[in-house]
Amino acid sequence: MSSSKQHAQRGKKKDPRPVEEPKVATNLASLRNLSSSVYPVVQFQRRAAANYKGSHRAARLRLEGLKSISADKQAVYASDLVQGLFTDHRKAPEATEQHTTAPQLQALRGLLHSSTRSQPSRSPKLRSWDKRPSIIFPPSTALDISPKLRSWYKRPSIIFPPSTTLDIPKGGSTDDIQFRKMRSFFQFVTTPTADTPGTTLLLHFDNKRYLIGNIAEGTQRASIEQKVRLLKVSEIFLTGNTSWEKTGGLIGMILTLADAAASSAQASLLETKKKLLNRLEREGVEINEDDIAAQAAREVKDRVRLSIFGGPNLNYTLATARRFVFRKGMPVDVHEYGHATTQSTPLSDPTWSDDNVQVWALPVSPSPKTSSGSSSPRKRSYDELNGREILSSRPSLNQTDKERALMMSKSVVSEMFDSSWRMDALVETPINQVQMPATLFVRNPQDHKIVKYTGPMPGGKQPVPDITVLVRKPWPGALIESLPPAEPVKVAMSYIFRNHVQRGKFQPQRAKELGVEKGPKWAALGKGQNVENAKGETITPDMVLGASKQGGGAAIVDLPSSEYVEALVSRSEWKSSEIMAGVGAFIWMLGPGVASHPMLKQFMEEMKHMRHVVSSPELCSNRLSLDSAASATVRLSQIDPIRYNTPVHDNKSASQALESLGGLKDLVSIADRGQKIQLEPSIEVQDNEINTLLDADAVRAEMSKDVLDLAVKAREEVKAAKQELDAWADSLPQKDVEITTLGTGSALPSKYRNVSATLVRVPGWGSMLLDAGENTLGQLRRVYAPEVLDEIMRELRVIWISHMHADHHLGTVSVIREWYKVVHGSQRAAICSPADDADFDAGALFSNQDRLSVISESAMLHWLEEYSHVDDYGYSRLAPLCLTPNFPQKNIQSSLHWFIPPSSTQVRGGNSPRAREPWADKIARAKVLPQALNLQDIQCVQVQHCHGARAVSVTFPSGFKASYSGDCRPSKPFTQIGQGSTVCIHEATFDDELQGDAEAKNHTTTSEALSVALGMGAKACVLTHFSQRYQKVPVLEYTEGEDAIQSLETTGDEVMDISTSTDDEAEAPAVDAVAPQAEMATSVDATNAKKAAKHIKIKAGSDMKVCVAFDYMRVKVGQIAEMEKYTDTLVALFAEEESEENKPEPPKKKGKGGKTQRNN
């Protein structure tokens, strides 16, 4: 439909009678300066149409605020231009002709239509004044415009109310705009603890929230514990340097926000359409439904946009995750500061601002040498442990390379979160051009239906036919094999946040004395405009307004180490009265040893008129930050003290920490979770909402006597059956192997369960970590005391990652970094690659037992290698190994190969002899035998879950055999490689009642998991990876009946064939052909959780013992049989907990003002 026809249709009335006196409302969101060199903003307020005497009613616009464009003449032009557009076209003022030209009208028209499409989201509260669409009438025919342009304006057109507030451009000042008074304060979501290593703040306004600080691993789970409303967050300001220690939780946070937005998008879209239709119906205007749908889609999309601000390499960090992160419908804008570019805006102008707050970004680079504090032994230790000198010696990239990497990364990030890619879209491609691996389809010539192609495949032994096939269009992550080179940048980000100026109160009596009549002129003065009184005198706003109040603010300063102190305290912003006006507090996020730095102490003394709040691992207590999980573990330890212990913590008081600051203790407050720094009406540090420390003794005292009695009964049953239990344990190859379930939940972290991770400690061999979901290191720190954790790091031999879903591997980097620090003092080594060294000997590299093997598919290893370019977390000390899958039906065994990254110059080709070397020779050199890892055997199979998903079976020298499923549907090949397993660790995401959900989401039910373990003849089965709403504990019942669970080998059920081709590690490097499937949250109905525990029937005489895993559980394999005795106790415990959770929450405690307050 043409533009003119659309406008004509929009302008039609439902009433067909002639309309002589149209009553309309007029809207305009903002008028930007038509010149590209300045950024003026004009904001207009909607008003009802005014009645004129006579036979006509016309629209009237009241100017709310007009900022000077560049000169008085341009301001007059803008005013007249607006009047010309919105005044009744039959009574256009003559002044319009003098200032309006056709090109200007055309440009304005474009701005009017684009203004509702390009703005960020805004709270419904601030949208209350623009509830109705507006009709813009054509300008007067007296205007000097061409006939062609005039015809375009012949009909009135509808301008939809904008969904946003003003978009203040970069560098623009908004001090002269009046804003509504709102509560505003910072609140600590996390302080440094074992499982929340970073400091995170929430900046609260009534209409919006901002996350500021470190989005470290564990932040998301802490936000759940704190009931932070993440859906109100649309801006994240990252502090400190861009390293995994500071950003390790960012990817998971974005995924959670994206999935939440996607789940509510459809309902939001329908609601938005309904509101638009209701508005138009009230106005009596008929409009095209397609226009309504498009407008609603734009508004919904704008509301879910996420902006992230931080230092260099932030885009690159996110772009490395392109192989396992893919979401649609949530645009992510990443803004980096601290690049070596010339500042183009005045120092006093904010770096970024919106309707609530102004922000000045403060990128700080470390000083080459720091005075005084540089000789601190603590500082030297910190620098050495982080390999700073080694990192700085890497060859630098030129500016062109850096810009190329940034541009490529930004493009990749855009595609990761706001792509139009669809998995069901098939593209016709000649078969000889198809890049493998891929699934091929063809059209059946008889019925033209699409069927799977089963003929010879590209790259196979048989020649392919000359045909066109249908293949899925590669998802965006597969199109970028490798990112451009990048290098670490040690810039640390800090910020100044300041509220806008609050305009003074209007004084009516003073306005009367100056001869200004009540009405529109009073409103204009209140909005900052000059008016004339009855005598023709110019009255300015300052004559009738009380004193303006500067908005409150605070500086958020992150200093990772002492080498940043000198550059930070020397910044010119601290001496700028324009920037520091209203700033009344410093919030310090300090690394080890920084708080005692002499220059920092001196700076605090100079700023003693400010409030200072310090967050540091040295000063903040290692309190229990995840109260719900800790309380659950305390209760479990009452029932079974052998397998569960109170999580490691300390409750050091703030007064103890302050003593270490010496003379600063009177100036400084120690940060704590829940603490607030109020900005309005005055700067104030409020401690009344600090979360109470968890009292383990109080939790124990609340335990029901009935549950405790059942626990005593269970312990007595264990003693009574000791001979039988010992006999079973003695039948195991190595009964003292310890299994620690660090994360037993699925998909997303929750209050009670973290995401997947299981540690297997094999005496005499070492430890193996099976998957490492986000914050696995935090879980380890809660289970083991520091000295024991160091021992575990020294004995850690293998990390196995089953597949590329984020909940299974986002904690890998942190675990490697901790191992790198403990074992190698964070000192780099030369990168070893079979592609570069003809004498490469994998066996020799393992001879010193100081290599940590990370075994997974190539996509996982490529991510680790690519990310190591910007963060030295220990990749140079790893043994990155690909394990090709076993195919029992073809008698193909698994084999280990040293990973060769696609970015290798030898892989990409060249003229050197090494480059021309056959790929098969390099692969032969890259082969690693299990014995190099001191393993008897290691086999894996592909399983039905997502691309690249694998289940693994590991045989240790003692004969102990552990099989781990990862995520999957039941797999017969897994039972085959797992034959004779000592223990099978299997996912049991869904209860048996949710069989349909398990099939749809490629997971396993409880009974299916047990059937797999029975099929491989496992002596014990550990059930894990439960739905986060899974509250039931399966009760095992031994029976001779036919309804008992059968082993998977005897069921005869068909299991989907995953693939018949070997994995791509044995061929040239390749990328995934399709996007990994997002693992959605479960659809467990709340009513299901209230049903009685289901009885799982196992064939009588079965020797397999079963236990249900919970976070922080430590069980020796020989003790698993004992845990069956505690089933009744656990059922009773969770029944009580569920009853308590279903009770309504008590009102929150009152703040100092006596009003009930929310934490966020």
Looking at per-residue confidence, does 422 or 413 come out higher?
A: 413
Give the pLDDT band (50/70/90) at residue 399: confident
Taking only Cα atoms into account, the Rg of the chain, rounded to an integer number of angstroms, comes to 33
pLDDT at 122 over 60: no
Which residue blocks in 289-444 are alpha helix, DSSP H?
289-303, 314-319, 377-385, 388-392, 399-417
Of 121-135, 245-259, 867-881, where does the model show the most confidence? 867-881
Mean local confidence (pLDDT), 351-355: 94
* Helix axis angle, 812-824 to 786-795, nearest 10°: 90
Chain-centre distance for alpha carbon 821 = 27
Please tell me the chain's helix, strand, coil percentages from 3-state DSSP, rounded to the nearest 5.
35, 20, 45
- The DSSP line for 350-370 is -SEE-SSEEEEEEEEPPPSS-
Of 113-117, 130-134, 275-279, 759-763, where does the model show the most confidence? 759-763
- State how far the Cα of 45 lies from the Cα of 655, in Å rounded to an integer: 53
Mean local confidence (pLDDT), 423-435: 83
Among 806, 859, 776, smallest CA distance to 259 is for 806
Say if residue 162 is preceded by a cis peptide, omega within 30 of 0: no
Give the pLDDT band (50/70/90) at residue 581: very high
pLDDT at 387 over 80: no
The pLDDT, as a whole number, for residue 1031 is 53
- State how far the Cα of 189 lies from the Cα of 301, in Å rounded to an integer: 28
Handedness of CA 911, 913, 917, 923 (dihedral sign): negative
Q: Which of 168-172, 359-363, 1031-1035 has the lowest mean pLDDT?
A: 168-172
- State how far the Cα of 316 lies from the Cα of 327, in Å rounded to an integer: 18
pLDDT at 25 over 80: no
Among 349, 838, 241, 130, smallest CA distance to 591 is for 241
- State how far the Cα of 331 lies from the Cα of 413, in Å rounded to an integer: 9
- State how far the Cα of 297 lies from the Cα of 271, in Å rounded to an integer: 11
- State how far the Cα of 766 lies from the Cα of 763, in Å rounded to an integer: 6
pLDDT at 820 over 60: yes
- Residue with the two structure tokens 């001196």: 602
Q: Where are the beta strands (DSSP E) in 579-619?
A: 583-590, 611-615
Give the pLDDT band (50/70/90) at residue 1030: low
Fold of 704-906+916-1053+1087-1140: Metallo-beta-lactamase; Chain A (3.60.15)
Give the pLDDT band (50/70/90) at residue 435: confident
Give the pLDDT band (50/70/90) at residue 1143: low
Average pLDDT, the chain: 78
- The DSSP line for 658-671 is HHTTGGGGGTEEE-
Domain ranges, ordered by start, for the chain: 3-159, 184-417+492-496+557-619+660-686, 426-474, 503-543, 704-906+916-1053+1087-1140
pLDDT at 291 over 80: no
Q: Are 990 and 1025 in contact (CB under 8 A)?
A: no
The pLDDT, as a whole number, for residue 18 is 40
Topology agreement, domain 184-417+492-496+557-619+660-686 and domain 704-906+916-1053+1087-1140: yes
Looking at per-residue confidence, does 210 or 80 come out higher?
A: 210
Q: What are the backbone angles phi and psi of residue 310, rounded to the nearest 5°? A: -175, -165
The pLDDT, as a whole number, for residue 87 is 36
- State how far the Cα of 296 lies from the Cα of 302, in Å rounded to an integer: 10
- State how far the Cα of 86 lies from the Cα of 74, in Å rounded to an integer: 18
Q: For the purposes of burial, counting CB atoms within 10 Å of the CB of 71, is it exposed (0-12), middle (13-18) or buried (19 or more)?
A: exposed
- State how far the Cα of 541 lies from the Cα of 846, in Å rounded to an integer: 78
Q: In this prediction, what percent of the chain has a pLDDT beyond 90?
A: 49
pLDDT at 405 over 60: yes
Q: Are 560 and 241 in contact (CB under 8 A)?
A: yes
Tell me the HSE value of 314 on the side-chain side, using a 13 A CA sphere.
29
Q: Are 674 and 690 in contact (CB under 8 A)?
A: yes
Mean local confidence (pLDDT), 160-184: 42
Residue 764 tokens read as 């005499």
pLDDT at 1068 over 60: no
pTM check: above 0.85: no
Return the ∠ at Cα 740 (arms to 734 and 860), rounded to 5°. Answer: 105
Number of helices and strands in the chain (H, E): 38, 45
The pLDDT, as a whole number, for residue 462 is 87
Q: Which of 63-67, 545-549, 878-882 has the lowest mean pLDDT?
A: 63-67
Give the pLDDT band (50/70/90) at residue 561: very high
Residue 345 tokens read as 């805006």
Give the pLDDT band (50/70/90) at residue 38: very low
Among 810, 815, 798, smallest CA distance to 756 is for 810
Q: Is 526 helix (H, G, I), strand (E, B) or coil?
A: helix
Contacts of 659 (CB under 8 A, 6+ apart): 665
Residue range 184-417+492-496+557-619+660-686 in CATH 3.60.15.10: yes
Report the amino acid identity of residue 341.
T
Q: Which residues pair with 1114 in a beta bridge?
A: 740
The pLDDT, as a whole number, for residue 191 is 97
Report the amino acid identity of residue 294.
A
Cα separations in angstroms, 307 against 331, 359, 414: 8, 14, 12
- State how far the Cα of 76 lies from the Cα of 68, in Å rounded to an integer: 9
- Residue with the two structure tokens 């009237």: 60
